[in-house]
Amino acid sequence: MLRTFPKGGIHPPENKLTSSKPIKRLPVPKVVYVPISQHIGIPAEIIVDRKDKVEIGQVIAKSGGFVSSNIHAPVAGTVTKLDKIVDTRGYKQQCIVIRTDQKDETNFEQVDLPLLEEFDLEPQEILQRISDFGIVGLGGATFPSHVKLNIKEGKNLDCLIINGVECEPYLTADHRLMLEKGEEILVGIRILMHALHVDRAIIGIENNKRDAIDNFKKLASNDPGIQIAALKVKYPQGGEKQLVRALLKREVPKNGLPLDVGVVVHNVGTIFAIYQAVQHNRPLMERVVTVTGKKLENPSNFWVRIGTPISDLIDAAGGIPEDTRKIVSGGPMMGRALKNTDVPVTKGTSGILVISGGEANRGAPKNCIRCGECVDVCPMGLEPHLLMNLAEKGMYEKAAQEDILTCIECGSCSYVCPSHRPLLDYIRFGKTIAKQLESNKG
């Protein structure tokens, strides 16, 4: 019997079209647009000016506080302007525009680095590097990693969990990374175990990625500290709380963190970035992005420099198909529909999904028929229909009492609703207001 989380969850069609396609390196774009807010927390502060020459990997925006992250130049070139560009929500955000220097060889040199297994850094130095090299959670939430790794005294940490679940349909970025960079990821895990003083790590992978599970089992066979766990395929298993529950049967308290039950969770992509930062002094300036869609000519996985316009990615995958109705940044469940394709790839972009025809439509909402499906599938044990009603009627305090703030916004409720009710839209809105009310109170 495979492990999984007990409450709720759904199983949307997997549609992993690109799981057998090796990650290709996308050509370096002529111009990159690097937003200064690519992470949760305070935006970084720009420290370059117009016409400045920048080296590849140079810090161009400095962390603006503790919950913030450095941003590095993804290419060598010249800063042409400090401008505003649309983000995934369509609002303009400050960004640094760099024109790539076509003559600079570092831009185009072979970027695959040799495996480097030995490390002799002190834990403090490792954490410092993770902070300096702008590592954030690459699973999608983009929470600065050094904050997660900063274990306060009194917390009893005994296990490191590596999130290789990738429960979102369509996306295969983590899957391919686990297959191609398995050894590097294992080194990364050992580095983190050393830095956090833990002797146990579990890699959680859903059972639809058998090849990745077998790969890790083979590579880690002589390391008793690292376990590989196959999990039953169920969305949203990639959520931290769900994953901790599935692997260790520990319940993360509501409004709490995995650290409260002695666990730290990191995505495999983050682990690889940490490996590169610690072993090769390489800042986070590229990531794997899955470009996919049923009508797309050539859906692929790409290594992409941060700041590459999304239109470049779609062109490399065969261009926008004729009857495209929606382009989503991220997976189909939690991603955001894009307003246009000028939006650059940021640290949090895990996939680009091109949806065609009728699949893009949401369906007209009808009345709630009280079937209770949303309650059944909610992985947090909430009552989405009730929360939506409360948010719609402006009863935000009551909604807060009903734990609206513990919602992880996985969208399972909206997915199963037979009346196509916009449950998550209202819950997200209610959450925003409830959060405001709470911070006003505190």
Partner 1 sequence: MSDSILYSVILLALLGTVAALVLYVVSKKFYVYEDPLIATVEDLLPGANCAGCGSPGCRSFAEKLVGSEDISDLFCPVGGNEVMNLVAGALGKEVKEQDPTVAVIRCQGGCDVRPKTTEYQGPRSCAISSLIYSGETDCQFGCLGDGDCVEVCKFDAMYMDEATGLPVVITDKCTSCGMCVDACPRNIIEMRPKHKRDLKIFVGCLNEEKGGIARKACSVACIGCSKCLDVCPKEAISMENNLAYIDPELCTLCRKCVDVCPTHSIIETNFPPRKKKNVEPEVTIKVEPVKPQNNA
Residue 362 CB, shortest distance to partner 1, in Å, is: 4
Which residue among 23, 32, 34, 86 contacts partner 1 (CB under 8 A)?
A: 86
For partner 1, which residue of 25, 336, 398, 435 counts as binding (CB under 8 A)? 336
Q: What is the DSSP letter of 116?
A: -
CB closer to partner 1 out of 14 and 425: 425
Alpha carbons 421 and 414: distance in angstroms, whole number:
7
CA dihedral 189→192→193→195, nearest 10 degrees, is 160
Q: How far is the CB of 411 from partner 1 (least distance, A)?
A: 13
For partner 1, which residue of 365, 372, 381, 418 counts as binding (CB under 8 A)?
365
| Residue choice 102, 150, 221, 340 for contact with partner 1 (CB under 8 A) | 340
Scanning 117-267, the segments in alpha helix (DSSP H) are 123-132, 145-149, 173-180, 182-196, 210-219, 240-248
Q: What are phi and psi of 266, to 5 degrees?
A: -135, 145
Contact stretch for partner 1 (CB under 8 A) within 65-73, 82-90, 211-219, 280-288: 82-90
What number of residues does the chain have?
442
Nearer to partner 1, 72 or 421 (CB): 421
DSSP category for residue 87: -
Say whether residue 281 binds partner 1 (CB under 8 A): no
Q: How far is the CB of 90 from partner 1 (least distance, A)?
A: 3
> Does residue number 179 form part of the binding site for partner 1 (CB under 8 A)?
no
| Identified binder of partner 1 from the candidate list 50, 92, 249, 280, rule CB under 8 A | 92
Give the count of beta carbons closer than 10 Å to the beta carbon of residue 177: 26
Question: Which of residues 11 and 92 has its CB atom nearest to partner 1 in the complex?
Answer: 92
Q: Does 42 bind partner 1 (CB under 8 A)?
A: no
- Of the pair 24, 420, the CB lying nearest partner 1 is at 420
Q: Which positions from 6 to 35 touch partner 1 by CB under 8 A, shown as an x/- string?
A: ------------------------------
Cα–Cα distance measured from residue 385 to residue 260, given in angstroms and rounded to the nearest whole number: 30
Q: Does 89 bind partner 1 (CB under 8 A)?
A: yes
Q: Quick one: DSSP state of residue 298?
A: S
Interface region with partner 1, contact rule CB under 8 A, candidates 12-20, 115-123, 360-368, 371-379? 360-368
435 binds partner 1 (CB under 8 A): no
Q: Rank residues 200 and 428 by Cβ distance to partner 1 and give the closer one.
A: 428
**Per-position DSSP letters for 216-232, written without gaps between them:** HHHHTTT-TTEEEEEE-
91 binds partner 1 (CB under 8 A): yes
357 binds partner 1 (CB under 8 A): no
Contact flags string 396-425 toward partner 1, x per CB under 8 A:
--------------------------x--x
Cα distance between residue 337 and residue 389, in whole Å: 25
Pairing relationship of beta strands 31-35 and 324-329 according to DSSP bridges: unpaired
Pair of tokens at residue 404: 């609206």
**Does residue 426 belong to the site contacting partner 1 (CB under 8 A)?**
yes
* Dihedral of alpha carbons 313, 289, 66, 191, sign: negative
3-state secondary structure at position 162: strand
Phi and psi angles of residue 99, each rounded to the nearest 5 degrees, phi first? -90, 125
* Token couple for 29: 């774009």
Phi, psi for residue 303 in degrees, rounded to 5: -85, 120
Tell me how far, at minimum, the Cβ of 402 lies from partner 1, in Å.
19
Task: Enter the tokens of residue 170.
Answer: 């369509």
Chain contacts with partner 1 (rule: CB under 8 A): 86, 89-92, 336-337, 339-340, 361-362, 365, 422, 425-426, 428-429, 432
